[in-house]
Amino acid sequence: MSKPYPLLFRPAFKSRIWGGSRLSGWFSGVPQDEKIGEAWVLSDHKEGESPIANGPYQGEVLHEVMQKEPAWFVSAKEHAMPDGRFPLLIKVIDAADDLSVQVHPDDAYGYKHAGEQGKTECWWVLAADEDSQIVYGHNAKDASDFRQHVEDERWDDLLKRVCVNVGDFYFVPSGKLHALGKGIMVMEIQQSSDTTYRVYDYNRIDKDGNHRQLHLEDAIAVTQYPDSPIPVDKQTIPMHGVKAHRMVSCPYFTVDHWSVNGTVNLTDTALKILSVIHGSAKVDTVDGTSSASVSRGEQVLLPDGLEASLSGNFDCLVTSLPTRR
């Protein structure tokens, strides 16, 4: 068994019909001849693995390291997928155009119909044009009413829209109808799943001249009725030298927001992921054997058992895996 160290990652970039060019200002190596909508900045998903970028395991992917160093991933064991892969996926998304109106299944429906776990996610808004909006819920009374709205194309009546600003946070559980709107960038923390059921795609045509596939029957089956509001219950966390707030805690992840200006010693050595959203951070192991620098948009995974400190002037999201017992 090797000593744990802070793991950095190389993003996997995804071309999307609604993508833009802003990710080039955040990451190196972004393809310039495509509309890049997503950077999978920490991913063990088969559709886009983000290789480790530093240290002895540079070039390997998470599920390989999880097999070689199980003690580093004790916190992830009860959340890991049946194939042993890491249970979370983190993205930076550039919506240069509206994303499709969509919904994701829960675990039971996802495994039965798509062969993978469901998808609960959350967003931190990194950038937003003036008057940018998201779709966040619907006005249908039940599945029949939902279907009728869709068939009649009464989108303004069906969809709930919300204006967003930089620094807003949204929790999007499975079953919540949603869509990012044009001009928005977010950091997305989600279950590691790529299953999406599209309800409406603005009648767009892809590069091959086709409409993208819709999934109305699946969407109707997994959408929550009636829609219910999800207020952000931000709670202050007492931490020395850090302004810390808990943004959400659900069965799949806990996400905190930290503002740091100085040095912070991490007394909790459980596995956590730091996602820098402003400024830059330096991570040093207490034993002095390893360090890592992380800039905005980048991720560092601190394995179980790693004693470390953080320094710099930065804001970050801190994601951990809750105990399900």
Q: Please state, in angstroms and rounded to a whole number, the distance separating the CA atoms of residues 158 and 139.
A: 5
pLDDT of amino acid 117: 96
CATH of region 235-320? 2.60.120.10
DSSP for residue 9 = B
pLDDT of amino acid 163: 97
* Domains 7-222 and 235-320 equal at CATH topology level: yes
Q: 246-260 pLDDT, tens per residue?
A: 999 999 999 999 999
- The fold of the 7-222 domain, in CATH, is Jelly Rolls (2.60.120)
**Average confidence (pLDDT) over 73-91:** 93
Distance of CA 165 to the CA centre of its chain: 18
Q: Please state, in angstroms and rounded to a whole number, the distance separating the CA atoms of residues 196 and 198.
A: 6
- In this structure, are residues 309 and 286 in contact, taking their beta carbons and an 8 Å threshold? yes
pLDDT of amino acid 263: 95
Q: Judging by beta carbons within 10 Å of its beta carbon (0-12, 13-18, 19+), is residue 191 exposed, middle or buried? A: buried
- In this structure, are residues 164 and 132 in contact, taking their beta carbons and an 8 Å threshold? yes
CA separation (Å) from 314 to 40, 53, 122, 231, 282? 21, 21, 20, 26, 10
pLDDT of amino acid 206: 80
**Average confidence (pLDDT) over 208-228:** 94
pLDDT of amino acid 325: 53
Q: How confident is the model at residue 241 (pLDDT cuts 50, 70, 90)?
A: confident
Report cis status (omega within 30 of 0) of the bond before 173: no
**Average confidence (pLDDT) over 84-98:** 97
Q: Residue 169 pLDDT > 70, yes or no? A: yes
Contacts of 300 (CB under 8 A, 6+ apart): 6, 7, 8, 273, 274, 281, 283, 292, 294
Q: Residue 236 pLDDT > 70, yes or no? A: yes
Q: Please state, in angstroms and rounded to a whole number, the distance separating the CA atoms of residues 267 and 242.
A: 13
Q: Please state, in angstroms and rounded to a whole number, the distance separating the CA atoms of residues 310 and 263.
A: 5
Q: Please state, in angstroms and rounded to a whole number, the distance separating the CA atoms of residues 302 and 291.
A: 11
Query: Which position has the higher pLDDT, 116 or 210?
Result: 116
Q: Would you please indicate which residues are annotated as catalytic (active-site) residues? A: 198
**Average confidence (pLDDT) over 266-284:** 96
**Mean pLDDT, the chain, as a whole number?**
95
**Average confidence (pLDDT) over 129-150:** 98
pLDDT of amino acid 1: 66
Task: Give all strands of the β-sheet with 133-138 in edge-to-edge order.
Answer: 159-163, 133-138, 178-180, 101-103, 197-200
Locate the domains of the chain by residue range: 7-222, 235-320
Q: 276-296 pLDDT, tens per residue?
A: 999 999 999 999 999 999 999
pLDDT of amino acid 80: 87
Q: Residue 267 pLDDT > 90, yes or no? A: no
**Average confidence (pLDDT) over 7-11:** 98
The rounded percent of the chain whose pLDDT value lies above 90 is 90
pLDDT of amino acid 248: 97
**Average confidence (pLDDT) over 27-50:** 96
Q: Residue 324 pLDDT > 80, yes or no? A: no
pLDDT of amino acid 110: 97
Three-class SS state of 150 = helix
Strand bridging mode 242-249 / 308-320:
unpaired
